[in-house]
A and B are shown apart, each in its own frame.
Chain A
Amino acid sequence: MSATEPDRPPTRTTRVRTRWFAAAALAIAAGAFLFIAVGGIGQNLVYYWGPKELRAAGSKATGATIRLGGQVAVGSVKRGDGVSDLQFDVTDGTALVHVVSRGVPPQLFRDRIGVVVEGTMTKDGVFESNRLMVSHDNKYRAPGDKNVDIRELMRSTEGLDDAAAPAATVAGSPRP
C-alpha cells in the first residue's frame, strides 16, 4: 500500500485550536444525541407488572405500555365468536384485572394458565391487550396457588420480546 504521504505539518496553534473545535462540536453532538435518546427511551418504556402493581400504579397505568403477568382466573374466560372479543380476568391471587384481548389466542390458553398480556389500561379500568402470550413454565402449579411469582412468569413466557420460545428444559428433568 502507499506509504504515508509527506505531510505539511500544521502549526502548533492551529492544531490546538482545531482540536478544541472538534472537542466542542463532539460534546454538543453527544449532548443532543443523549437528549433525544433518553427522551426516546422514556416514551417507550414497557413496564412488567402484576395485577397488584398495576392497581398500585393507579392513573399512571393509563396509556402506558404494560406487560401484565398473572394467572387466568377460573371461569372468567368469555370467548366471542370472532377474533377480537376474547375477555378474561388476570389475577395474582390478591388483585384482579379485567382484560379484553384482540388477536387469536394461543393453543394452550385456558383457565389457570400463566399468561402475559401486552397492552394498556383504558380510562374505564379495562386492560386492552394486543398481544397474548402463555407461560411455558414446566412446573405444574397446584390449583388455587396464591403465590404467583410474576417475575418467574415473565421469564418463562412464550413470546417475550417477540421471540416465542419455551424457557429452558436444560435443567435436565428426566422425561416423565
Chain B
Amino acid sequence: MLPILGRTLILLALLAASAGAVTGFVTGKNPSPAGWTWTRRLAYAFAAFMVLANLTMEYALLTHDFSVSYVAHVGSRAVPTWVSIVSLWSSLEGSILFWGLVMGAYVAFATWRNADRHPEYMPYAVGVWLACGAFFSFLLAGPAQPFATVANPLADGPGPNPLLQNHYLMVIHPPFLYSGYVGMTIPFGLACAALLVGRLGNDFIRPLRNFLLLSWIFLTCAIVLGGWWAYEVLGWGGYWAWDPVENASFLPWLTATAALHSALLVERKGVLKAWTVILVLSTYLLTILGTFMTRSGVFNSVHSFTQSAIGPTILVFLAAALLFSLALLALRVDTLGADGRLETGPSRDVLFLVQNLLFVLFTFTVLLGTVFPLVVEAVRGVQMSVGRPYFDRMSVPIGVALLFVMGVGPALPWGRATPRQLRSALLPPLVGACLLGAVGLALGVRNPWTVLALFFGGYTAQVTLSEMFLPVRQRMRSHGEGLLEAFRQTQSRGRRRLGAYIVHAGAVVAIVAVAVSSTMGSSKEIQLRKGEATTLGAYTFTFVAAEKVVEPHRDSLLARVDVSKGGRSLGSLYPRMNQYESQREPIGSPAVRSSLTEDLYLSIHNIDTDAGTVGLLVLVNPMVTWIWIATGVMALGGLVALLPRLRSATAPARVAAPSAPIALGGSN
C-alpha cells in the first residue's frame, strides 16, 4: 500500500510543479490575477505533496514496512527509533526525498511572503522554482525512486550506514546542508525573474538578499558541521582536507558570500546589479555541480555512501540550468545597468570590489583544483587528484588578503575621503594589529603567514569592534544616555549593520583559529605496549589497558590512555574501534579532549587486546574549539541581520506593493 501511496504523491508533486512552472512563466509574460493565483496554488500544492510524501516515508520507516524499497535498503528493526527517523537522509533516494521536502518548504514560504508583493517579478520567480522542483520530483519518480515496491519483503533490513549512528553530528549535518543548498534555489529564481523583467529595483533586491542570507547561514553551519564531524569521527586529526565534496559545499558559499556583499552595493548605490545577478546564478549552478559531485560517485570520497547512477541525470540538469542562465544573461543582462556610480580612490566602495574579486578568485582556485582531475580522467582516462599543497598554497594568501580587506574596508568611509580622514581611519587599528601579532610571536608563532594572519586579525578585530559600537557611542554622546539604553536604541534601528559586524567578528576568529591550528599543532604516531608512555609537547600519554565493550548494536575495542601534564593527571581518554553488526570492518572513533586553548586528540590505528598493544596517532591541536565557536557567532550575526527584516518587512511593504519598483533600470 505505502509504495503506491508514495509514488502517487511524487507524481502529483511532479504534476503540480510542472503545471506551476508553465503557469508561472505564462503569467509573467501576460500578467493576470487569475494566473498568479493559480501559480501560487500550484506552488503550495507542490509543497504539500512533498510534505505528505516525506511523512509517508517516515511512517514506513517507523513501522518497518519493508515492502518500500528505501526501507528495505536502510531500515532495521534493531536500531533505535531516532535512527529510524533520521534514516530518511542516510542514503541516496531518501536524501533526495528530503531535498524535496526542504524545497517545498522554501518555495511555499517564499511564495507566501511575497504573495502581495513584486507582482511583476513573482510569477517568473515561482515559475523558475517550480521548474527546479519539477526536476527533483522527476528524479524521485524515476532515477532515484524511493517508493519502489519490493515484491517479497524480508522480515528485517540491514539498517543505515553505521557512520550515521556513530556520531550525532552526522545526523544534523545533512539537514543543514540541504537547507543551505536548496535555499539557493530561491535567490536563483528571484535573480532569473529580475533578468526576465529587465529590472533589479531597490525593493526587489531585499527578498533576494534575505533569502540568500538565510541559505548562507545554513550553508555556513553545514560546512563547519561537516568539518567538525570529520574531526570527531574520522580520526586523522584534522577538520578540512580539500576533499572534492567538502569543496562542493565551499564553492557556493564563496560566491554567496560575495553576492551578499555586492547586493549591498546594489541597494546603496544602484551599481553592480548584473554582477550580483551573475554571482547568484553561479551560486545555484555550483550547488547543482556540488550535488552532481556528491551524488554521482565520480570522486573517491567519504560521501560515496550517497552515490548512484543518478549522476548523468543531474549532469543534464546542470547543463540545462547553465544554458538557461547563459542565454538569459546574454539576452537580458544589459537591461540591468547601473543607476549610480562607484566612487574611485581609497573608499569603502572600492574595497567592496576588491573583496568581491578576491572571493571570485578563491572560487576559481578551488573549482580548478576540484574539477581538474575529472577533466583529465574524462579526456585521458588517467586517475589522479590534486594534492592538498595546491589548495593550501593558493588559499592561504587569498584568505589573508580577505582578512586584510575585512579590516580596511569597514574602516574606510563611503565615498571619497580626505587624507586626514584616511589617516584617522586607518592608523588606530594598527594598535590591535601589533598587539595580536606580538602575542602570537611571544607564544612562539614563527610561520610568516600565521604571523600575518594574526597581525591582520588584530587590525580587523579592532575595526570590527569599534564599528560595531560606533552607533552606541554616538548615541551616548548625542543623547546623554547610558550604555545599555543607547545599545537598546541603536540595535533596534541598526540591526542589520550590527549583525554584519557580528558575522565579521566571527569570521576574524575563524580565520585566525584556522591559521593557528593548521600551523601550530604537533603530532606523532606510536606503537605502545601496555604500561608504556609517550610524550608530546607538555603532555604524557600512558597506555593503561585495552578493553572490549559489548553493546546491543556494536562491539567496541577501546584503549585506556591516561594523560598527564607536568606530573598532574588530566584523566583518561578512550579512543576506540567500533564494530557494527552490518559492517565487516571496524570504524575507528577518536577520543578528543577539547579546551579553549588546545585539543588533545587520540586515534587508534590498530589495537590487540591479547598482545596488549596499541598503535596510536597522537595530536595536540591548538585553538580548534574556536572554529566551532566562531561559526556559532557568524550564524548568530546572520540571524541578527535577518530576523527583524523578516518581521518588519511585512507591514510597510504591503503599502508599497502595487507601485512599480522605485529604481528604473537602464543606464542611459
Contact = CB atoms under 8 A, between A and B. Distances in A.
Contact of A172 (B72, B230, B341, B384): B72
A107 B586 contact: yes
A161 B241 contact: yes
B32 interface: no
A83 B268 CA distance: 62
B299 to A, nearest CB: 8
A38 B376 CA distance: 13
Given A2-B268, A44-B386, A45-B386, A170 B91 contact: yes
A1 B267 contact: yes
Interface stretch (A70-78, A92-100, A152-160): A152-160
A164 B588 CA distance: 9
Q: Is the interface of B mostly helix, strand, loop or mixed?
A: mixed
A175 B154 CA distance: 12
B187 to A, nearest CB: 19
Contacts of B306: 170
Interface residues of B, number: 76
A170 B297 CA distance: 13
Interface in B384-403: 384-390, 393-394
A165 interface: yes
Contact of B305 (A5, A46, A170, A173): A170
A3 interface: yes
B74 A170 contact: yes
B447 interface: no
Nearest to A33: B361
Given A33-B361, A162-B241, A45 B384 contact: yes
B551 interface: no
Contacts of B663: 4
Contacts of B72: 172
B300 interface: yes
Nearest to B237: A162
A7 interface: yes
Contact of A48 (B307, B385, B390, B588): B385
A174 B390 contact: no
Contacts of A172: 72-73, 157-158
Nearest to A134: B585
A20 interface: no
Interface in B463-496: none
Interface of B: 72-74, 91-92, 154, 157-158, 161-163, 202, 230, 234-236, 238, 241-244, 267-270, 297, 299-302, 304-307, 339-341, 357, 361, 364-365, 368-369, 372, 382-390, 393-394, 525-527, 577, 581-588, 604-607, 615-617, 662-663
15 contacts: A4-B270, A40-B390, A83-B527, A104-B605, A151-B383, A157-B300, A158-B585, A162-B234, A162-B388, A165-B234, A166-B163, A166-B583, A168-B307, A173-B158, A174-B158
